[in-house]
Structure 1
Amino acid sequence: MRFLRPVILCLAAAIAVPAALAQAIDYDRLDQRLKRLAADEEIVGLSVAVIENGEIRFAKGYGFTEIGGAPVTDTTVFRWASLSKGVAASEVAILAEQAKLNLTDTVSKFKTSLRLPGGGETRATLEDVLSHRLGIVSNAYDTTLEDGRDPVEIRESLRGLKNICAIGECHSYQNVAFDTVSEVIEQVTKSSYADTVEASIFRPLGMATASIGRAGLQGSDSWARPYVKRSKEAGPPREKIVNDDYYRVPAAGGVNGSVRDLALYARAQMGLVPDVLSDTALAMLQTPRIYTSREQSGLTRRYKGHMKDARYALGWRVYKYGDTGHRVVGHRGAVEGYRSMILFDPERDTGVVALWNSSSRKPVGIEFEVMDMAYNLPPQDWMELDSESAGGSK
């Protein structure tokens, strides 16, 4: 039980530590592996944190904020990209528990700009929005957003698309449409989306570096510049200019923060800060809504089926971890020279988070190497340090 945790930890030095609480992760090995990964030309900067048995046991930066720049630390700020979706869903869950809205409310109940084919906004619920079940093509009009068009105009134009399935019947990942929830949150709270999330999530969790918007990133004491590299290009990655494209859909991709703050956020998602995210809210967030066949196909092909039964909840992905029988919750993100990752076992209060400022896919393997250690599985070269073919890549 949660309330026994302090007692157990205090007694740990005097009695044999139960197997469920024993340290399983080899942090020396992890550190050496991460140093090797950071030395790769594709990697500019990287920060990683591990939560084990509810405690942040490891938080460290590697590489540099920019080529030739300052070292990355555990408080260096990166963009969280699509990990922002879990933040938005968490805010909705908080408001639902306060009876200020309901997941079954239709989009049309609120004054939003979302218009779906055939008047679908009158049938689509907030739950459908948060689980990407709107029945329209994946990533609808993301390129138009990147061309500078107002997301409000884009959401209104979605009515001209054709349905690929009935609302609620299939998973189809969205950014512009997902950001409808920021409009809902602002209407319900009568406050800006950024201020609402700051007041109900960031500040109560002690997330000192977290923010929403480009100004928050670039105003940080230490922030990582974005870099990209096409797969066939020679030489180091190229620096990109930070723009407002996905900051204009803050619920989908607007959050910034350090890896230490991401670890604090992960602890709350494990149920360790019930005053901020209660068991009721977490049940709303992490209960799977729909099987994601496309995600599962990619995992099977690239990672030897190491995660199975891929499903989507509300702003979160849920898997079964290999043959262990354990359920894990996570998400990944990528936006314009930044990538991010979070994966945790909510029953074991153990997980890993990572942020990096390049387009390299190799750090995705960190989540498998850490969780394999947590589950006492044989080590594999998921970071592709010893063999280009080992583990595959996203």
Structure 2
Amino acid sequence: MSKSKAGRAGRLPVVLALILVACIALFLAVAAYLKPPSRSGGEASPGIKLLEPPADASPARVDYRRLDARITALMQDPDMVGLAVGTVERGRVRFVKGYGETVAGSGVPITPDTVFRWASLSKSVAAALVAGLADEGKLSLDAPVASLHTTLTLPGDTRNVTVADVLSHRLGLVRNAWDDRLEAGEDPKTLRSELGTLAPFCPPATCYAYQNVAFDTASEIVEGATARDYASVARARLFGPLGMTNASIGRAGLQGAGRWAQPHHRGRVPARVDDNYYHVPAAGGVNSSINDLLRWMRAQMGDAPAVLSPKLLDIMHRPRVSTPPHGRRGPMDRALTNAAYGLGWRSYTYAGHSLVGHRGSVDGYGSLILFDPAERSGIVMLWNSNQFKAARLQLEFFDLLYGLPQTDWLELQKPEEVAHPSQPVPGTD
């Protein structure tokens, strides 16, 4: 064999080895590219994460042993069935826990991944979608609703009624206009097309009156701007990017979850899932676990600027109209002062602090989110019964957070609570 042939023969194994290394590297690169995004540790969809706060070795301000003891005592109420609670302090999740059962007597425990209905907390999703589309120039919050070809009609002169008026309940309608007809099974688009036949409550765009049927005009606005159905837009623009893996819209999303909480009436009586408010998805159609609701709250605190920018958060949270009380007010409602409404969000002052939040109820479920944007701290709650005393826990949390004197907001030391109606007004808060 010549020297040149011998040299080529000697180099052959080296070349083969280099080719093999290159193939392995290519395989690993392709595998990494195709790997689905992680659903743990704060990961959302590819390229988007919830921002994590800086390392903080300081102890929690809230005494969570006391908070847990108070929740455990609350669960002894004869009307409570299941409850999930989560808290954030200074941007960091400090507490998340499930209590009770998915169905009374079943023994199946509530976990942080159990799915409940959001009820009226869903309005914040609609506001985020509409405000986001407006920020992209696909619509305007100041556009007259009449120019958008929705089914909504209103009494009086509606030329100046805007998209922002829809999202802040300033439509000149009586409070909860035709919720009763929605609950009777009537089509919400037909109802919206006939709202103009009602007597005006006030000149449009001048006063606040809470709505569900009219508020769901937001779903038509979203679908008109995107040419896609409302649920798929919410998944693509919010739930997916934020890593809200158990979030959905509609009854199928609730009952198709791996573990979901069944609704109950007073006395822990199981009830069927009523889907009337699923027919107004912008007003009351969202479901999720407490883990997902924690992600939603953190995004509202500014921890997901790629999804909800500081500009959008200001647009949604900024008070736009005062919300005078109606009906009987309990101690908690009297303590939350300067009540106002933004776009899909309420705002209050408590003990000198500005808070943002919302409450919701639909037959057999309750929901709550309340947070201090400046402190980046707050609480979320989901439960599966018509016991609305649970909502008072929010102020016990903030008393602990702010170091205020302890107040028995839950009235656990009293033998009996003032009687409440056995049924809520579904879909309202």
Both structures adopt the same fold (TM-score exceeding 0.5): yes
What residue in structure 1 maps to residue 125 of structure 2?
A: 87
The CA deviation string for residues 147-178 of structure 1, in whole angstroms up to 9 with x for no partner, is: 11100100011010011111111100000000
What residue in structure 2 maps to residue 378 of structure 1?
A: 405
**Displacement, 1:392?**
11
Within a 5 Å distance, the mapping from 1:102-251 to structure 2 comes to 102-118=140-156, 120=158, 122-229=159-266, 236-251=267-282
Q: 1:58 aligns with which of 70, 88, 95?
A: 95
What residue in structure 2 maps to residue 68 of structure 1?
A: 105
Q: Normalised by the size of structure 2, how large is the TM-score?
A: 0.83
Within a 5 Å distance, the mapping from 1:350-361 to structure 2 comes to 350-361=377-388
Q: Return the alpha-carbon distance in structure 1 between the equivalents of residues 393 and 382 of structure 2.
A: 11
What residue in structure 2 maps to residue 276 of structure 1?
A: 307
Q: Return the alpha-carbon distance in structure 1 between the equivalents of residues 221 and 74 of structure 2.
A: 41
What residue in structure 2 maps to residue 332 of structure 1?
A: 359
Q: Tell me the secondary structure at the aligned position of residue 236 of structure 2.
A: helix
Q: Return the alpha-carbon distance in structure 1 between the equivalents of residues 394 and 362 of structure 2.
A: 19
**Displacement, 1:39?**
2.1
What residue in structure 2 maps to residue 347 of structure 1?
A: 374
Superposed CA RMSD in Å reads: 1.9
Q: Return the alpha-carbon distance in structure 2 between the equivalents of residues 151 and 219 of structure 1.
A: 24
What residue in structure 2 maps to residue 232 of structure 1?
A: none
Q: 1:311 aligns with which of 340, 347, 351?
A: 340
When residues 388 and 198 of structure 1 are mapped into structure 2, their CA distance, relative to the original with a 3 A threshold, is farther
**Displacement, 1:304?**
7.0
Higher mean alpha-carbon deviation, 204-213 vs 381-390, is at 381-390
**Displacement, 1:298?**
5.2
When residues 118 and 166 of structure 1 are mapped into structure 2, their CA distance, relative to the original with a 3 A threshold, is closer
Q: Tell me, which stretches of 5 or more residues in structure 1 are unaligned? A: 230-235
Q: Tell me the secondary structure at the aligned position of residue 314 of structure 1.
A: coil
Q: 1:37 aligns with which of 65, 74, 87?
A: 74
Q: Return the alpha-carbon distance in structure 1 between the equivalents of residues 370 and 419 of structure 2.
A: 18
Q: Return the alpha-carbon distance in structure 2 between the equivalents of residues 282 and 28 of structure 1.
A: 33
**Displacement, 1:118?**
3.1
The amino acid that maps onto 1:135 is G
Determine if contact 1:318/1:329 at 8 Å carries over to the other structure: yes
What residue in structure 1 maps to residue 115 of structure 2?
A: 77
1:365 and 2:392 correspond? yes
Determine if contact 1:97/1:280 at 8 Å carries over to the other structure: no
Q: Tell me the secondary structure at the aligned position of residue 263 of structure 1.
A: helix
Q: Return the alpha-carbon distance in structure 1 between the equivalents of residues 343 and 143 of structure 2.
A: 15
Q: Tell me, which stretches of 5 or more residues in structure 2 are unaligned? A: 1-50, 421-428
**Displacement, 1:8?**
4.0
The amino acid that maps onto 2:340 is R
What residue in structure 1 maps to residue 285 of structure 2?
A: 254
Aligned length: 370
Q: Normalised by the size of structure 1, how large is the TM-score?
A: 0.90
Determine if contact 1:303/1:392 at 8 Å carries over to the other structure: no
Q: Tell me the secondary structure at the aligned position of residue 153 of structure 1.
A: helix
**Displacement, 1:27?**
0.9
Q: Return the alpha-carbon distance in structure 1 between the equivalents of residues 403 and 205 of structure 2.
A: 38
**Displacement, 1:239?**
1.6
Q: Tell me the secondary structure at the aligned position of residue 188 of structure 1.
A: helix
Q: Return the alpha-carbon distance in structure 2 between the equivalents of residues 173 and 103 of structure 1.
A: 19
Determine if contact 1:365/1:391 at 8 Å carries over to the other structure: no
The amino acid that maps onto 1:327 is S
When residues 355 and 368 of structure 1 are mapped into structure 2, their CA distance, relative to the original with a 3 A threshold, is same
The CA deviation string for residues 102-151 of structure 1, in whole angstroms up to 9 with x for no partner, is: 1101111212100111352x321011000000001000000100111100
**Displacement, 1:101?**
1.1
What residue in structure 2 maps to residue 25 of structure 1?
A: 62
When residues 381 and 79 of structure 1 are mapped into structure 2, their CA distance, relative to the original with a 3 A threshold, is same
Q: Tell me the secondary structure at the aligned position of residue 265 of structure 1.
A: helix
When residues 148 and 60 of structure 1 are mapped into structure 2, their CA distance, relative to the original with a 3 A threshold, is same
Q: Tell me the secondary structure at the aligned position of residue 280 of structure 1.
A: helix
Determine if contact 2:60/2:89 at 8 Å carries over to the other structure: yes
**Displacement, 1:391?**
11
The amino acid that maps onto 2:258 is D
Report the identity percentage. Answer: 47
What residue in structure 2 maps to residue 387 of structure 1?
A: 414
Q: Tell me the secondary structure at the aligned position of residue 409 of structure 2.
A: coil
Determine if contact 2:53/2:90 at 8 Å carries over to the other structure: no
The amino acid that maps onto 1:336 is D
The CA deviation string for residues 54-76 of structure 1, in whole angstroms up to 9 with x for no partner, is: 01111110000001221101110
Q: Return the alpha-carbon distance in structure 1 between the equivalents of residues 368 and 185 of structure 2.
A: 27
Determine if contact 1:80/1:253 at 8 Å carries over to the other structure: yes
**Displacement, 1:336?**
1.1
Q: Tell me the secondary structure at the aligned position of residue 254 of structure 2.
A: helix
The CA deviation string for residues 75-110 of structure 1, in whole angstroms up to 9 with x for no partner, is: 100000000001100111111111111110111121
